[in-house]
């Protein structure tokens, strides 16, 4: 069995509301936000700071629902300041063959300036006519909102590298 990590949840462009260096670690996130995308308390997340380029991993504490709170705690507070725009990504381990056969779905929430849900959509990987198809209910780029790749049950192939 080959295990791969896939994004299963993303909070896109949330704004850091606090940075608490004295707390023992983690990130505190408004409970409404983590519930919407399916991130669990204590789950590991990657934080990508759009404002300054820093990346870090930590774990989630649920914050008070409806507050829009995004508080970076502990040593990670050196890497994010209040007002910074961040992307918070949660991954899950999946059996690659299972993904190729049955697909995978990720939830994405795009936040407004107050960390409220501005957009919510799904991104999917699914088998389709002996190929693997990526689709998004929101456009991924200006050319297309899906990509189809050839695959076998055990291996993805790219027979033609020209685009």
Residue 157 has a pLDDT of 33
pTM: 0.85
**What does the pLDDT read at residue 24?**
86
For 10-58, the pLDDT digits (tens) are: 999 999 999 999 998 899 999 999 999 999 999 999 999 999 999 999 9
**Confidence class of residue 158 from pLDDT cuts 50, 70 and 90?**
very low
pLDDT at 8 over 70: yes
Check if 26 is active-site: yes
In the residue annotation, 144 being an active-site residue is answered as no
**DSSP per position, 7-66:** EEEEEEEEEP-EEETTS-S-EEEEHHHHHHHTPPTT-EEEEEETTT--EEEEEEEEE-TT
| Bigger pLDDT: 123 vs 25 | 123
Looking up tokens 């890497």 gives: 79
- Given 59, 91, 136, 151, which residue is catalytic? 59
Name the residue among 141, 137, 131 with its Cα closest to residue 103. Answer: 131
Q: What is the DSSP letter of 75?
A: G
Q: Are 47 and 58 in contact (CB under 8 A)?
A: yes
Domain range annotation of the chain: 3-95
Architecture of domain 3-95: Beta Barrel (2.40)
Q: Using 50, 70 and 90 to split pLDDT, how confident is the model at 140?
A: low
pLDDT at 161 over 60: no
Predicted confidence at residue 61, as pLDDT, reads 97
């Amino acid at each position: 069995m080959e295990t791969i990590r896939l994004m299963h949840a993303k909070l896109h462009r949330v704004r850091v509301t606090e940075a608490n260096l004295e707390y023992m670690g983690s990130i505190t996130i408004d409970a409404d936000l983590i519930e919407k995308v399916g991130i669990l308390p204590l789950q590991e997340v990657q934080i990508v700071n759009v404002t300054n380029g820093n990346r870090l991993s930590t774990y989630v504490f649920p914050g008070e629902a409806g507050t829009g709170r995004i508080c970076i705690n502990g040593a990670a507070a050196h890497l994010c300041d209040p007002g910074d725009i961040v992307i918070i990504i949660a991954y899950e381990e999946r059996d690659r063959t299972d993904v190729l056969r049955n697909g995978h779905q990720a939830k994405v929430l795009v936040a407004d300036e107050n960390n409220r849900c501005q957009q919510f959509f799904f991104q999917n990987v699914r088998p389709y006519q002996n190929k693997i198809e990526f689709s998004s209910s929101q456009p991924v780029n200006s050319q297309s909102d899906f990509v189809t790749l050839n695959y076998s049950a055990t291996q993805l192939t790219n027979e033609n590298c020209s685009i």
